[in-house]
Every structure is written in C-alpha cells, then in structure tokens.
C-alpha cells in the first residue's frame, strides 16, 4: 500500500468513516484542574517518611487481558483492561509499532458523529541506531522528522505515535514524529497537542544541519490535519527533559529535568499565554525554583510534610551548553538551564521526573534513590506539591523503603482527585522486603501509599507468538510503568508497560478508592 493510501485510510478511521465531527478539539487538561483533591497539602501527616497502607480497592491478583487472554498485570477485583499497540504490531499507517513505551497523554476528547473519541500521544524512549531505517517513521515521508543525520556516527530513533480510543475500544494508531532522542515524558497542552521532551544532556552536534538535542517538540492530535512541527521549542530549554505540565489558569508551563543532583523545577512563561498550536515557538522566559533566603538549597532529603517558601529566578540562556559547576552538593555537570538557575540561587533536587498541574498545585516527583549513610538518610523517592497561590513547597510523599514507593517516575491526578505514581525502580537497597515487580501506587492525602496494580509480564516466546504478538519475552515484571493518564470522565486509565512495550486501557470500580 502506498504512503498516500495509508494516510487516507488512517484519516478515515480518525473521522469515524466520514462522520462529521460534532465538536471541536477540546483540552482535556481543564477537566482535571477543576476537581483535584487539595487534601494532599492540607491533610499531610508529618513524619520522617511515608508508610504503606491497606488498599481500599482490595488485594491485587493476575487478571487476563480482554484482548489477548494473557495475565499481563495484577489488579483488584472488578477491574478489567484491554491491551493495544504492542511493540511489533502493525499500525494503521502500515509502520511497525516501536518499543520503549514511555510518557503519554490524552490530548483530545471529542464527539465524532454519535461516538466519543479520545486521542492520545505516546512517547517511545528510543535512543540511537547505526541504521537510518530505524528512525521512527522511516519509510513514510508524511511523518515529520527533526534529525535524519548522525551524531557521533549514530541516528536518533526516538519519537511519537498517536492512538485513537473510541466508544470503549482501540481503533487506530500511527507514527507522528521521529528523529528525536529519548523522548521520556512530556505533557498535554490545553489546545489539543502534546509536548514530546528529549531526555539528553549533550553538547554534540548532528550532521543534519548542525542540530543539537535536548529540546521540547509539539505533536498535534491529528497529523493528517496538522503535521507535527519538527522545529524545537528552544526557549523551553536544552536539557535532559522529563515532564512538562501546563497550568490552565495562567498558561505557564512547569518542567522537570532528570540530571542527578544537578536539576531544579523550571517554569516557562510563554510570550503568548493564550496558547494554540505553534504558539510556544514565539518564545518566553524560563525560570528556576529557589528557596527564599537559601541560595542553592539542597532539597534531596526532606521529611514527610516538610515545607519551604520558594520563588522563581531567571535563567539567562535556556540554550546554553552543559558544563561542570561547583554547587552546595558537590561538583556536577549541569545543563545550561540548571547552571543559569543555580547562578541566581536555584535549589537542587536528586532527579526530577513526573509533573502534573491541577487546581493551582504543581505535583512533581524526585525519583532518586540511595542507601542510608552515616550522615544522610535512605531515600526511595519523593513527591512534592507546590501551591502556586502561596508558593509553599511541601513534600507529600517521602520514601525510605522501596516497598512503600519505588522511585516514582510519571504521575497523574485522576478527575476524582487521586494521585497515581508509576514506579521505575530496582530491587536493591533501600528495601525491607524483596521487590518482585514494579507497581502503580496510589498516594493517600495523609502521605501513605498502597498498591493499585502490579506488573505481571513473564511469558515465553511461544506464549507471546500464540496470541499473535512479536514483542520481547521473558520476565519483565521488574520494569517500569509509564504514561499513566485518565480519560477526562475518569472511567478509563490509560497506561504503558515500558517493557516489552504495551498500552493498556483499565476500567473498573474507581469510586471504591482515591482514584
């Protein structure tokens, strides 16, 4: 089939076989902002660290996938799920689904004729290859690509795919952006697009027009209507990006960076706060978070419910190169944005990851883990809540034990106000018991956690091939969850198993617990 016929076929699927779109693209993020539970800051119960609590949903057990029949995950009684977009599956555009399913967001929820349709954009955190054929979207000129050259002899093969969920079923998927490096997380805009964020700290230059990496890119919901713009949004910084999240009330973005002991929380104030596809390319001001009166504050080891008064400091050059820098926690290699923030008093975190804004609060994670030393406590991750009205930063989850919370990465807030953490840790110290698998954990308003779901992928090649799949086999239970996001009505949780690369749509009795 030709590239053109692939594109026409995909567009017909997206438009419901020719049915008129009864409602324009809408920004699902606005639905979350109105309903988030503010109890996380108000009811946090001070202690040295968080504790594991009993789940109101009940214990988890293996549940068979409604698509393949395999028990891919463990869930509480009453919950079911449908898998889709396995690595190796043929997509609607004829291309093969890439692996490394990472950050993901709902970017559009709309009526299509009599149907309700949701479009998601999914990151594929792939890095490099010696073959140009492995660039995401290779073989289809309709897929926008940022860099088709080589850096250090290698091609950049990360990128994005878009998924369509309609009336309770998966109906389409297609490639949308390629030629970027390790898009780990990102964030949904309020105008129907996704920010795909490269996670790389490097000053290297590509042979394709002297391009660098470490930027944010915008991916629209439907690339048959608007192609992705492969131009980086330079003003949002060049660094090892993780998540980005917009505050619908102001149009400001909040960004995290995964650079060990050399990162802070960032705020981007666009020149065009009204938004719209391509609006962020108009530039803006990038700032870093600082603790008032404490330049270079070390925020890596808080206690549960510990608070700090914070402010924002300017970053002179968001596109500056990485370089060595001496800080209050030692000499580190810092990105241009971090060095700019630190020069003006910016605070220091361990390794920031997930970020979500809801109802005037920025939630973000520090996934750094370490064993206890004679002078420092153990840590298995932290979740922070920043009240934008008072500029009070509070540690609402503090892990000292992987059993309680194992390196929380992506996070999301449900329409009912519950906060869900995607674990991305290992099975080493600090832990009070063996870690058989990674979990989706729910954070309680008091600062405790409980398990909602558990990774259960442990299948042979024969078992996988028997259900028509070509993904990786073996025991993958101790690999990460990623990209969790709820449908705007709260009925469906979409989430990825990073390895072997599967997207799930989970439904069930959410009102039994915090989600």
- Between 40-44, 313-317, 323-327, the lowest mean confidence (pLDDT) is in 40-44
Residue 198 lies in a domain: yes
Q: How would you classify the pairing of strands 493-497 and 481-486? A: antiparallel
Per the domain annotation, does 491 fall within a domain? no
Asked if residue 3 has pLDDT above 90, the reply is no
Q: Is the pLDDT of residue 23 over 80?
A: no
Tell me, yes or no, whether 401 lies in a domain: no
pLDDT in tens, 503-513: 999 999 999 99
The C-alpha atoms of residue 322 and residue 129 are separated, in whole angstroms, by: 24
**38 pLDDT exceeds 90?**
no
In this prediction, residue 41 carries a pLDDT of 81
Q: Of 117, 110, 107, 119, nearest to 22 (Cα)?
A: 110
In a domain, 196, yes or no: yes
Grade residue 17 by pLDDT with cuts at 50, 70 and 90.
Answer: very low
pLDDT for 36 equals: 52
Is 173 part of any domain? yes
pLDDT exceeds cutoff 60 at 280:
yes
Range of 163's domain?
Answer: 101-230
Give the number of other CB atoms < 10 A from CB of residue 343.
17
pLDDT at 32 over 50: no
pTM: 0.94
Q: How many domains does the chain have?
A: 1
Mean predicted confidence (pLDDT) in 456-485? 97
Establish if 484 belongs to a structural domain.
no
Position 275 in a domain: no
- Tell me what the mean pLDDT of segment 143-148 comes to: 98
Instruction: Check pLDDT > 60 for residue 2.
Output: no
The reply to whether 155 falls in a domain is yes
DSSP state of 221: S
The 10s digit of each residue's pLDDT in 238-250 is 999 999 999 999 9
CA distance from start to end of the chain: 44
């Amino acid at each position: 089939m030709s590239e053109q016929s692939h594109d026409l076929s995909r567009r017909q699927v997206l438009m419901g076989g020719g049915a008129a779109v009864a409602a324009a693209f809408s920004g699902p993020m606005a639905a979350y902002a109105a309903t988030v539970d503010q109890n996380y800051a108000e009811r946090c119960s001070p202690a040295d660290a968080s504790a594991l609590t009993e789940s109101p949903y009940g214990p988890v057990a293996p549940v068979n996938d409604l698509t393949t029949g395999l028990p891919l995950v463990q869930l509480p009684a009453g919950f079911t799920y449908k898998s889709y977009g396995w690595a190796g599956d043929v997509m609607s555009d004829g291309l093969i689904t890439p692996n490394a399913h990472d950050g993901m967001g709902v970017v559009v929820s709309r009526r299509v004729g009599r149907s309700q349709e949701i479009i998601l954009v999914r990151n594929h955190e792939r890095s490099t290859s010696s073959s140009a054929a492995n660039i995401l979207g290779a073989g289809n000129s309709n897929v926008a690509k940022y860099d088709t050259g080589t850096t250090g002899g290698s091609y950049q093969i990360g990128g994005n795919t878009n998924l369509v969920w309609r009336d309770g079923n998966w109906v389409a998927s297609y490639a949308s952006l390629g030629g970027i490096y390790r898009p780990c997380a990102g964030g949904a805009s309020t105008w129907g697009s996704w920010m795909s964020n490269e996670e790389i700290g490097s000053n290297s230059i590509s042979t394709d027009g002297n391009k660098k990496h470490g930027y944010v890119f915008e991916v629209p919901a439907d690339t048959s209507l608007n192609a992705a713009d492969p131009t980086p949004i330079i003003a949002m910084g060049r660094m090892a990006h993780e998540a980005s999240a917009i505050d619908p009330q102001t149009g400001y973005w909040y960004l995290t960076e995964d650079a060990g002991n050399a990162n802070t929380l960032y705020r981007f104030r666009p020149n065009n706060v009204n938004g719209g596809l391509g609006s962020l390319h108009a530039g803006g001001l990038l700032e870093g978070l600082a603790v008032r009166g404490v330049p270079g504050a070390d925020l890596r080891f808080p206690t549960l419910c510990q608070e700090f008064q914070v402010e924002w400091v300017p970053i002179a050059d968001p596109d500056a190169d990485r370089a060595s820098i001496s800080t209050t926690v030692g000499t580190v290699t810092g990105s241009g944005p971090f060095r700019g923030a630190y020069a003006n008093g910016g605070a220091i975190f361990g390794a920031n990851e997930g970020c979500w804004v809801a109802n005037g609060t920025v939630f973000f994670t520090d996934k750094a883990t370490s064993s206890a030393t004679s002078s420092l406590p153990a840590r298995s991750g932290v979740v922070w809540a920043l009240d934008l009205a008072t500029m009070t930063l509070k540690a609402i989850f503090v892990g000292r034990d992987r059993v309680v919370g194992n390196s929380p990465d992506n996070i999301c807030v449900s329409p009912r106000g519950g906060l869900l953490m995607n674990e991305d840790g290992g099975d080493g110290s600090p832990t009070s018991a063996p870690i058989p698998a990674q979990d989706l954990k729910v954070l309680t308003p008091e600062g405790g956690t409980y398990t909602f779901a558990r990774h259960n992928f442990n299948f042979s090649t024969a078992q996988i091939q028997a259900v028509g799949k070509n993904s990786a086999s073996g025991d993958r239970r101790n690999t990460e969850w990623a990209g969790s996001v709820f449908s705007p009505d709260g009925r469906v949780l979409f989430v990825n198993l990073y390895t072997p690369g599967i997207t799930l749509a989970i439904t069930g009795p959410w009102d039994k617990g915090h989600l």
